[in-house]
Amino acid sequence: MAMEVLEKELEKLKDTAQLSNSLANVDKIIDLLTAARSEVERANDPHVTSLTLTKLQNPVQRGLDAVLDDLKVVHKGQVKFGKALEKALTTDKDTKGSLPEDHDPMAQHPTLINRAIAMHLLREGQFGVASAFIAEAQPQRPQSSISQLQSQLSPLSPSSVTSPTSPRSPEPYESHLTPMDELSALQSETLQSSFAEMYSILSSLKERKLLPAINWARSNCAELEARGSNLEFELCKLQFIWLFKGPSVNGLPDTPENGRLGALYYARENFGRFQHRHIREIQQLSCAMVYASNLPASPYRSIFDIAMAFDEVAASFTREFCSLLGLSAESPLYVAATAGAIALPQLMKFLNKVKGKNTEWTTTQEMAFETRLPKSMVYHSIFVCPVSKEQTTAENPPVILPCGHVLARESLQRISKGSRYKCPYCPNEGSVKDAKEIIL
């Protein structure tokens, strides 16, 4: 209910709080001033100068008044929305019950919370905001060191896709180490430039440019292979298909490096290194060459359907990149806050019901009821094999295939032929030895 009221108020705010009028009026003033300057310069005569300046006075004053009037409207809208916000939030608390205030498990951990927020901003690529947050979260800094901190601008490489504000990098404060200094440590150049690299590669992928991602995967191939990741091959395979599609689809110049011939060159140059693990897929891609003139009617149709392929490689790239940094692909803060927002209404309802019934919520580490969360937010501590429908054990642990599908080791042994398997859930095939045990 309160939400609907707020949404209406927000709509009103969007209508009234527009800065476009102010901007237009400021532009008009700038035009007046520019015209006056060129007139003065052209005439180069003190008489003309003073006349021009006199003529300028009234129109500029009118312009400034107009800007102020526009801003008043905006300000009024903001104040009104602020009042609506306050009203909605306070009445909510009084009439719909409130959360217990006696045990707030997070109250003792401001550093952890700030750390989670800073980390979230960094991994979202909001480097400027993260720097400002970290700087402002430092308690009782002498004013001088904050301004010193703000004056230290360390721009990232120009190619990186960051916010327009340059990130600031604070010097470590060795003189008085507080828990908050862990926050400054977070902002270490390496972490920030790592995320800048990730965002630069992702934005290339958005523009259908695979080479930066391929180069990254190649320079990290040992770690990726150790994780059983197929990322480098998947990227190279997509590059092959992308070239194969030719200039009419990929928009690249019509040269021998593009089109079917270009794809063939690319395969000769690059596929050799994957032969030991992906020979079947490479064979399929080469066979598809035979059907090149009529691919949509061939058995290779699905391989060449790349409608989702760029989004998929971007997602697995993000996952692998974060995991090499020791981080999960999803921001933990995002997951926790979203799960919390889903659980909150139920929790409020529950507390209202038990209020006055002398029943106390005694468990502090556990919710008194189950909360249904979307599948993506469920992290299993137990695993049931989708093939055998049995819960995995230490003797029969879950294994993850390079395609990302998970089953029990015994099930994998049952479905594999010799040393090779075909994934039961997707078209991928591979060696049994590439399946990695996972620890839950």
Identified binder of Zn ion from the candidate list 183, 333, 423, 435, rule CB under 5 A: 423
User: Which structure tokens are listed for 265?
Assistant: 């060159």
Least separation in angstroms between residue 423's CB and Zn ion is: 3
Least separation in angstroms between residue 421's CB and Zn ion is: 10
Asked whether position 369 contacts Zn ion by CB under 5 A, the answer is no
Shortest CA distance to 440 belongs to which of 381, 389, 377?
381
332 or 386: CB nearest Zn ion: 386
Least separation in angstroms between residue 329's CB and Zn ion is: 18
Least separation in angstroms between residue 323's CB and Zn ion is: 18
Stretches 48-56, 82-90, 195-203, 422-430: which one binds Zn ion (CB under 5 A)? Answer: 422-430
Q: How many residues bind Zn ion (CB under 5 A)?
A: 6
56 or 403: CB nearest Zn ion: 403
Least separation in angstroms between residue 263's CB and Zn ion is: 25
194 or 428: CB nearest Zn ion: 428
17 or 387: CB nearest Zn ion: 387
369 or 425: CB nearest Zn ion: 425
48 or 426: CB nearest Zn ion: 426
Asked whether position 426 contacts Zn ion by CB under 5 A, the answer is yes
128 or 397: CB nearest Zn ion: 397
Asked whether position 422 contacts Zn ion by CB under 5 A, the answer is no
Asked whether position 435 contacts Zn ion by CB under 5 A, the answer is no
Identified binder of Zn ion from the candidate list 113, 215, 425, 438, rule CB under 5 A: 425
Site string for Zn ion, 379-418 (x = CB under 5 A): ------------------------x-x-------------
Asked whether position 428 contacts Zn ion by CB under 5 A, the answer is yes
Q: Rule CB under 5 A: which residues touch Zn ion?
A: 403, 405, 423, 425-426, 428
